Amino acid sequence: MASSEENEMYSKQWEGCMEIAVQTARTAGQVIREAFKHEKEVSTKSSPVDLVTETDRLVEDLIISSLREKYPSHRFIGEESSAAGEKCLLTDSPTWIIDPIDGTCNFIHSFPMVAVSIGFAVNKELEFGVIYHCLDENLYTARKGHGAFCNGIQLQVSKETDMSKALILTEIGAKRDPATLKIFSGNMERLLKAQVHGIRVIGSATLALCQVASGAADAYYQFGLHCWDIAAAAVIIREAGGNVIDTSGGPLDLMSRRIVAAGTVEMAHYIAREIQTITYERDDHNAN
């Protein structure tokens, strides 16, 4: 077990890593902002609605090459490299978990909810997260034990426990078969019957989760997102005083492709109890 001195040493080391992550996210955001103005070359991955552009691949290469140059012994999990067949494996090694463009469909349609997300884990524990909203230049950052911030202003989650006063965010996911759509609409119906103020879908899991961290939304739930959608945002929400759990009500499983996040424990567990599971293949299904 590490001593307090060792923990402090590592904490300072990860602080330096986070500073590099912020610089890298800003650089990636500049590339995305420029590409946003132009026509995009679009292709599909796992389904007709699972989209990717050349900019996604370009930005991921930029981020990973920049970080690998500084940290050659670290591991990397990236959305596009995983889609290309690289194993999505979280080990005890320092690991960067990267979504080069979260909100690719938004990016393609010039809908301005688009972000770069960089999470960092050591010993399978999330240490810090950086999410950069490329179009409005909001920078969300958090390091374990040091609070969460947007452009240097400390974030605080909502303390709402009453579902009838809640604004809830969610996303649809890539599956669009009739059985999945029935469960998805049924989950929304159950929450609407609780008389929530509203349910919103904004097309970017990371930015939706940042709305929970900032207190603008009270909760978020989704099936079908990935570890690169969750990693950075989970740290930001926790450091803003919020709760991030599995949809079963248990601890968050980064590779499970499902999440409930809320400002309060009560709201997180209420949603977890109410929603029905939509099954997706785990991110680490090909790890062995």
pLDDT in tens, 184-197: 999 999 999 999 99
Q: How far apart are CA 198 and CA 5, in angstroms?
A: 48
For the entire predicted model, the pTM comes to 0.94
- CA quadruple 269, 271, 277, 281: dihedral sign: negative
99 is catalytic: yes
Q: For position 2, what pLDDT does the model report?
A: 54
Catalytic residue status for 218? no
Nearest to 99 by CA among 229, 279, 262: 229
Phi, psi of 166, deg, nearest 5: -100, 145
DSSP 155-184: P-------GGG-EEEE---S--SHHHHHHH
> Who contacts 58 (Cβ-Cβ below 8 Å, separation ≥6)?
31
Structure tokens at 258: 């499902």
Helix (H, G, I), strand (E, B) or coil at 256: coil
Catalytic residue among 24, 95, 104, 180: 104
pLDDT band, residue 288 (cuts 50/70/90): low
Q: Is 104 a known active-site residue?
A: yes
**192 contacts 224 by C-beta, under 8 angstroms:** no
pLDDT digits (tens, 9 = 90+) for 125-178: 999 999 999 999 999 999 999 999 999 999 999 999 999 999 999 999 889 999
Identity of residue 245: I
The Cα–Cα gap between 238 and 218 comes to 14
**Integer Cα distance of 140 and 133 in angstroms:** 8
The Cα–Cα gap between 288 and 101 comes to 28
C-alpha to C-alpha distance for 281 and 47, rounded to whole angstroms: 14
Please tell me which residue in 60, 102, 171, 284 is annotated as part of the active site.
Answer: 102
Structure tokens at 36: 């946003």
- Measured CA to CA, the distance from residue 68 to residue 64 in angstroms comes to 6
Residue 77 annotated to the active site: no
Q: Which tens digits make up the pLDDT trace of 16-70?
A: 999 999 999 999 999 999 999 888 888 887 788 888 888 999 999 999 999 999 9
CA gap 70, 210 in Å, rounded: 28
Lowest mean pLDDT among 45-49, 136-140, 266-270, 281-285: 45-49
The torsion defined by the Cα of 192, 197, 202 and 205, in degrees rounded to 10, comes to: -80
Give which of 250, 180, 71 is closest to 259, Cα–Cα: 250
Q: How far apart are CA 249 and CA 45, in angstroms?
A: 31
Residue 279 is a catalytic residue: no
